[in-house]
Amino acid sequence: MDELHIKGVVFIQTIQKYFKDESSFMILISHLSDPKNAFLFYFPLVFCLHRSVGKRVLWVAAISEWLNAVFKWILHGERPYWWVSESNLYKTPPHLEQFDITCETGPGSPSGHCMVTSAVIYIIVSDFLYYTNIKSFAIKLLCWSGYVVLLMLVCLSRCFIAAHFPHQVIAGTLVGVLIGMVMNKISTTNLSLPHYLVTSLALLSGGVGTFYIIQSMDLDPFWSISKAERRCANPEWIHLDSSLFFSIVRDFSSLIGLGLGLSLTSTTGVKFSPVFTPVQIVVSLALTLGSDWVQLPNDPVIYFYLSASLKFIVIFICVVAVIPKLNIGNNENRKQKKKKK
């Protein structure tokens, strides 16, 4: 494994030198592929356009991110930005440029950005081609080629910022594609609130169970956080919302919010106004993306995770049940005006 890491460091140094002038673009790609965007951007956008696909996107995001967290705990993967100084294989550790998004606190393998993005975008591309009933081979080839190019850029950007080794991004991408392919064959149409609650409980208990199993083996589940704190170039770049526990909280809370939201509203026989859809998209994205700026209490840490869970549940209830009522209400008002005329 050390040999793989050494070659990975050489690769990272090479692309950091070669793409030095494109650092802003690389950072942008990393930002866009952040797993949180699957929940805060892709889900609300797709849900407003197609409720069924939107539900599947959130399911895939939650399952893929949860699996990624469990894999990271089990595989115990290093990150380049701390490994070069912690490995003791170099007399003088090679210099790797760090950025404000480099210092993630979780283990490095497999890459969560690559795993979640490849799974979620697979669903979006696949369902887009299915529901639009596109027959043209050229258009299908263009869509899937764009998908491959996007994944390559994400992999490159994660290595460029020294957050991952090459083998970690490749593993994350392949597993993510596999998750997308499997989840795309599972119907979410007839799922009821108990399904969402049971799955959420399973994600929470599975994550906590993995944590305690690792701890019972006299291993430190927080080993990566201490390394991040020691080797990050700027302590202000370290954030709790990059921890594995936060990911698990987001996963089970989002499914609870989705389940509660769907149970609070019935769309049977309801026609949504396409005219209002752009407004629905803007309002939904303003809520979800705006929520990311809400400061949560950090001390004690249990308050941080409890408030984060509550925040995600409320957000997804609003996106699924509250905001769509504006669309329905607008459509009903239009019908009443037509009747009066």
76 is catalytic: no
Residue 22 to residue 15: CA distance in whole angstroms: 10
**Annotated binding-site positions for substrate:** 79, 158
CA distances (Å), 319 to each of 45, 287, 289, in order? Answer: 10, 8, 12
- Taking alpha carbons only, the member of 145, 151, 165, 174 closest to residue 15 is 165
Q: How many H-runs (helices) and E-runs (strands) does the chain carry? A: 15, 0
Residue 47 to residue 124: CA distance in whole angstroms: 11
Q: How many CB atoms lie within 10 A of CB 171?
A: 20
- Taking alpha carbons only, the member of 16, 50, 30, 43 closest to residue 154 is 30
Residue 30 to residue 254: CA distance in whole angstroms: 22
Which residue among the candidates 5, 50, 95, 113 is catalytic per the annotation? 113
In order, the DSSP letters of 167-227 are HHHHHHHHHHHHHHHHHTTS--TT--HHHHHHHHHHHHHHHHHHHHHHHHTT--TTHHHHH
- Taking alpha carbons only, the member of 67, 93, 64 closest to residue 80 is 93
| Amino acid at the residue 302 | I
164 is catalytic: yes
Which residue among the candidates 31, 76, 95, 164 is catalytic per the annotation? 164
Residue 163 in contact with residue 102, Cβ under 8 Å? Answer: yes
Cα–Cα–Cα angle for 336, 340, 341, nearest 5°? 120
Residue 36 to residue 56: CA distance in whole angstroms: 16
- Taking alpha carbons only, the member of 248, 225, 249, 247 closest to residue 238 is 225
Question: Residues 100, 101, 104, 109: is their CA dihedral positive or negative?
Answer: negative
Give the residue numbers annotated as catalytic, written as ranges: 113, 164
